[in-house]
Structure 1
């Protein structure tokens, strides 16, 4: 029997509910500026009216947004949804050329752009009919002026179906051009509910949430979840990450949750300011985007207590694959399943599959596949990527891992990270975990580099802690008894720091490019073996 209707709630209705129930409560705090829920609702309504009447936008149109975190950037999300348009946020650290590609590939009809990003607007102008600046700019009538012009107007919430696009979530594109994962209204409603269930149970308007990552990606999904419960969002001031400011805001606003990535957690707990401010209000410090190394987990638990929540999930599954809640974190190795990223999220099914799509038994390595309501609707205008990413209703993550007998998932790494040395599959994460227990090392990444004898061998790039000795051979000697000889890196380099992507991640592609630029990458004597021929359970 077909459903009578597939209509669902427009995601902008979360804001409408708060404006009715909590009109004078803070919605967003940025420095000395406090915006209430009723004020934000009024501003969003005026902006939505301007998008319709000044720019002719309608349901299904895409709106590209290039901005650092701010009130205006956050408002664009709800204004787009109110008229049924698709929000297309970009990481503000992207280059003008990268953004121009997003403008073209998304088919955006308008762009809302921070006034500081003139070069980005110029790069996109040939592809987008209208540009709306945030702040005074020669680009045109700015965001706040439009709101003032249309003050008091409130277009009705557009009717949407479950599969109507709400958000183009661009992948980071570390191995090629970014792809736009289509997130829908119905899917996102499930994700919000799932986040509240699995990541932050008990969240209410009496909580407070701090943003320490760009709202264009995972942090935006996290903050949408806060809006669903009337939780105020706090934005740090300035464009640079400042651990002392973060901890001061945690103390001042009694922050209860924040979403971040392992690199940022590491910087926060290792900064001296962590001991100067009261962070006892924290209930959930949620980290995702990359695995957290065991040594960093222990430091964070020692400093913050039992507040860590890990989730594993790609943008295509909107973060909702597995969760490891505080109860499953411990600084005691004997009390924790070390290396796990947790259990399947509520309402989601996770499998380990071989190359033919058959489910593998426990403790066998294969590709992680997932199905459930959090899976996206496919890549925009990219049938080839869709065909490669779905099999029999399962989304194929491209990540390798295994499950234990109780369903806890363990990530081995991405298939593209694996290298083959002398016929053996080597997974860099295992080596990195060992190296990070060295007292003098702060950051580590291992790559498979060309080798004339073995095909590929490990090349480790490390960052030493301040004041530590810098002797690569001593580190390799220390590692030797702790790992099988065929897994040991052949070379180890120590740098002052590792380059990071616009998304705050350390990527192997960037490290390889830096090695080539420095003249430290071996000549490609022999190309690595064709990895597609390697069985999923091998190694």
Structure 2
């Protein structure tokens, strides 16, 4: 199956999108055909790289599906990027056209969404030819540029088969019914929202409620007004919903899935204690379309990302590439039909990431005897003090449990005696005062001495990307 064929899984008169005006599956299919004709008229051909710059909207879905139905390749863009950052991707991807909500100072042909909408039914665009019957599902569908938390963004090339197989595997663990309504509040340019909130919903013939961003009141209103049953969110969203959402707001929920960043145990437990619903933590990365693992709804485990999806294999490897037994920490590697074809025009980077058919995630993890996976930390975030390994997440989980701390990040900083030492950045609730001595004593009762941060710094907020992942690279740069 090709990605755009997912549009035909729902019954014609069923609602595909909820909003001020509901859109049926038949209307969705017709709109994509009109967009497809327009894009073909504009010169978009199979194999072209086409940028897509838009906040969450039905027009994002129409444009994406129309482009890939022509055999072209979508390059979704983070709408928070600066012109300089967008210009890099335009050039790196060899972009032919950019579909955008507003014209930008870029040297690329631009198709403005509002202009497209006024032209669709003008009769100027003839019907675009169908893709050949032998068009391969292994053809590139999208190039997703990584968030750049480690430096220059790289474009992960995902095929139609990568995306569809991931949606199918995800469905087998968290099946939806046509009566389900999925909230898409995370940005569609991100693989988590696109595969889980859009593709998986379409595959199941369910409906989608689109919000163009997260605001607590608007989100809670949408949940109530449109009878949302499934949410895909990031930890900060669940933290807010735990504090602001009423019990009746969440009473109709079927699944609450968290990804994008590690879900603190404190947030998960507080949510369950208030609403009686378990947040199912999962794990993925753009290079894996993105979902690798998720907690099964009948038996979730705190602090675990769950089990690998069906058809996906995971291994925990040591530095020599040997498999480690349950409970031992090593690098998480992934193999399966969801794993990317490679990084666009970066053969050496692709070879480093894909070794012998296994995607090396750069994440340190261990597996228990039941197959549940636990992310310990990023390999690059591990701190080595006097030859001892320190995993920041272990310290962060304890800090989250300390009264008054609402956000925490631990990084490694140079230390003349030990090589590296831990340093903690803390965000406190209003009215709380940083008491370094008390926090240090608390940690000393729970951690070995070498793991105790050298210093504790209070900040107003931690730098994060759009999915709520803390940008430790920024903290490291600021600490120099």
Cα offsets for 1:9-53 (capped at 9, x unmatched) = 2221121343xx32x3322234x2322222222221111111112
Paired residues for 1:205-284 under 5 Å: 205-217=178-190, 218-222=192-196, 223-236=198-211, 239=213, 241-271=214-244, 274-275=245-246, 278-284=249-255
Q: Is the 8 A contact 2:232 2:256 kept in 1?
A: yes
Q: 1:191 aligns with which of 166, 169, 184?
A: 166
Cα offsets for 1:265-322 (capped at 9, x unmatched) = 1122122xx0175321111111111211111110121233234222111111123322
**Is 1:376 matched with 2:340?**
yes
Looking at structure 2, the residues matched to 305 and 376 of structure 1 have their Cα atoms a distance apart, in angstroms, of 37
**Is 1:58 matched with 2:45?**
yes
Cα offsets for 1:227-267 (capped at 9, x unmatched) = 11222211236x5x211211111111111111111122112
Looking at structure 1, the residues matched to 371 and 234 of structure 2 have their Cα atoms a distance apart, in angstroms, of 24
Query: Given the superposition, is the C-alpha separation of residues 182 and 150 from structure 1 closer, same or farther in structure 2, using an over 3 Å criterion?
Result: farther
Task: Give the corresponding residue for 1:317.
Answer: 288
**Is 1:471 matched with 2:435?**
yes
Shift of 1:389: 0.8
Give the alignment's Cα RMSD to 1 decimal.
1.8
Task: Give the corresponding residue for 2:23.
Answer: 35
Task: Give the corresponding residue for 1:485.
Answer: 449
Secondary structure at the residue paired with 1:321?
Answer: strand
Paired residues for 1:128-143 under 5 Å: 128=108, 130-135=109-114, 142-143=115-116
Task: Give the corresponding residue for 1:442.
Answer: 406
Looking at structure 2, the residues matched to 502 and 280 of structure 1 have their Cα atoms a distance apart, in angstroms, of 27
Q: Is the 8 A contact 2:141 2:160 kept in 1?
A: yes
Name the count of aligned residue pairs. 476
Looking at structure 1, the residues matched to 124 and 431 of structure 2 have their Cα atoms a distance apart, in angstroms, of 57
Task: Give the corresponding residue for 1:332.
Answer: none
Q: 1:342 aligns with which of 306, 325, 334?
A: 306
Q: 1:413 aligns with which of 372, 377, 383?
A: 377
Task: Give the corresponding residue for 1:182.
Answer: 157
Q: 2:85 aligns with which of 75, 89, 98?
A: 98
Length-normalised TM-score, structure 2: 0.95
**Is 1:286 matched with 2:257?**
yes
Shift of 1:457: 0.8
Q: Is the 8 A contact 1:310 1:325 kept in 2?
A: no
Q: 2:122 aligns with which of 133, 145, 149?
A: 149
Cα offsets for 1:186-240 (capped at 9, x unmatched) = 2222111111112x22x12211011121001111112111111222211236x5x
Looking at structure 2, the residues matched to 69 and 90 of structure 1 have their Cα atoms a distance apart, in angstroms, of 12
**Is 1:423 matched with 2:387?**
yes
Where in structure 1 do 4 or more consecutive aligned residues deviate above 4 Å? Answer: 150-154
**Is 1:14 matched with 2:9?**
no
Paired residues for 1:67-82 under 5 Å: 67-82=54-69
Q: Is the 8 A contact 1:301 1:307 kept in 2?
A: yes
Cα offsets for 1:152-210 (capped at 9, x unmatched) = 96535424213100111221110111111111112222111111112x22x12211011
Looking at structure 2, the residues matched to 364 and 106 of structure 1 have their Cα atoms a distance apart, in angstroms, of 40
Q: Is the 8 A contact 1:402 1:409 kept in 2?
A: yes
Secondary structure at the residue paired with 2:3?
Answer: coil
Query: Given the superposition, is the C-alpha separation of residues 150 and 493 from structure 1 closer, same or farther in structure 2, using an over 3 Å criterion?
Result: farther
Q: Is the 8 A contact 1:248 1:277 kept in 2?
A: no
Cα offsets for 1:449-470 (capped at 9, x unmatched) = 1111111111100111122233
Gaps spanning 5+ residues in structure 2: where? none
Looking at structure 1, the residues matched to 408 and 249 of structure 2 have their Cα atoms a distance apart, in angstroms, of 31
Secondary structure at the residue paired with 1:326?
Answer: coil
Looking at structure 1, the residues matched to 124 and 273 of structure 2 have their Cα atoms a distance apart, in angstroms, of 50
Length-normalised TM-score, structure 1: 0.85
Q: Is the 8 A contact 1:306 1:326 kept in 2?
A: no
**Is 1:391 matched with 2:364?**
no
Secondary structure at the residue paired with 2:120?
Answer: helix
Shift of 1:399: 0.8
Q: 1:163 aligns with which of 118, 135, 138?
A: 138
